[in-house]
């Protein structure tokens, strides 16, 4: 669970779930304010996969948000402010290799929490 707030000038931000070893990204979650869409992808074996675009865009500039990412055997389930907005099929099959959370660009993070949740 990532809680934060965007700035008035935020054009996008990223939440990445990173794998060891190497610099693979199992989940790249990228809200883009300029186009009001969310792009998800994976970076595996030194290549980006096919982008999955979601046109549901619940983010507003200078507004707090809560992003929750949960996983089952097949999908990442992504909730924004407690509303499920998308699911992303696992491309990295070894979920145990996901060891890091990376948050990039112009947002203020108020908390990061690891929890369990039933879907």
Per-residue pLDDT tens digits for 73-100: 999 999 999 999 999 999 988 888 999 9
Q: What is the pLDDT of residue 20?
A: 86
Q: What is the pLDDT of residue 8?
A: 84
Q: What is the pLDDT of residue 119?
A: 56
Taking CA 51 as the corner, what is the angle to CA 4 and CA 1, rounded to the nearest 5 degrees? Answer: 25
pLDDT tens-digit series, residues 6-24: 888 889 999 999 998 778 9
Q: If you compute the radius of gyration of the chain from its CA atoms, what whole number of angstroms results?
A: 14
Domain ranges of the chain: 2-112
The token pair at 37 is 């869409």
Q: Is the pLDDT of residue 49 over 70?
A: yes
Q: Coil, strand or helix: which one is 20? A: coil
Fold for the domain defined by 2-112: Jelly Rolls (2.60.120)
């Amino acid at each position: 669970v990532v809680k934060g707030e965007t700035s008035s000038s935020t054009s996008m931000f990223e939440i990445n779930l990173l794998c060891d070893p190497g610099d693979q990204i199992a989940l790249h979650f990228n809200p883009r304010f300029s186009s009001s869409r969310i792009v998800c992808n994976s970076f595996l074996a030194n290549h980006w996969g096919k982008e999955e675009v979601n046109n549901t865009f619940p983010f507003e500039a200078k507004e707090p948000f809560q992003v929750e990412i949960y996983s089952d055997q097949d999908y990442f389930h992504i909730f924004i402010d407690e509303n499920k907005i998308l699911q992303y099929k696992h491309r990295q099959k070894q979920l145990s290799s996901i060891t890091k959370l990376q948050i990039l660009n112009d947002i203020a993070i108020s908390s990061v929490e690891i929890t369990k949740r039933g879907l």
